[in-house]
Amino acid sequence: MPQPDRIVEIKLEPSTGLPVPEDDPIEVKLGDQRVKWVANFPFTIDIKDFTNYEHGKESGNGRHNCVTGYFGEKRKHKYSITANGKTNDPELDIKP
């Protein structure tokens, strides 16, 4: 049975306005867990060499979210969060 989605809250750094995830790197279970990013503002997620995900869309409650598919190989993925006109480049760490 798949693991529950790994939910990651994105916030804006108060002094710079840079979008930051609550953890860096984000650890995800190989082939068994998706990542769901959530924020109170619009954002986009771009994952290098990985295209099976949805861009941030608004849910009915004003929250925005983006969900990946399952990751098929163990490795680190660089990704970008863009919000508030700024981009941050943290990592995903896919674990067995």
Measured CA to CA, the distance from residue 80 to residue 38 in angstroms comes to 14
Higher confidence at residue 14 or residue 60? Answer: 14
Do strands 76-83 and 91-95 pair parallel, antiparallel, or not at all (unpaired)?
A: antiparallel
- What is the signed CA dihedral for 13, 16, 18, 23, rounded to 10 degrees? -40
Give a yes or no: residue 1 inside a domain.
no
CA–CA separation, 13 vs 45, rounded Å?
A: 17
Give the total number of structural domains in the chain: 1
- Name the more confident of 55 and 35: 35
Q: Is residue 57 part of a domain?
A: yes
Residue 61 has a pLDDT of 72
Kindly state the helix (H) or strand (E) to which residue 87 belongs, with its residue range: strand 86-88
User: What share of the chain in percent tops pLDDT 70?
Assistant: 90
Whole-model pTM? 0.86
Domain of 91: which CATH number?
2.60.40.420
Q: What is the Cα 57 distance to its own chain's centre?
A: 13
Per cent of the chain over pLDDT 90 is: 59
| Closest to 70 measured CA to CA, from 49, 89, 94 | 94
Q: Give the domain extent around 20.
A: 6-95
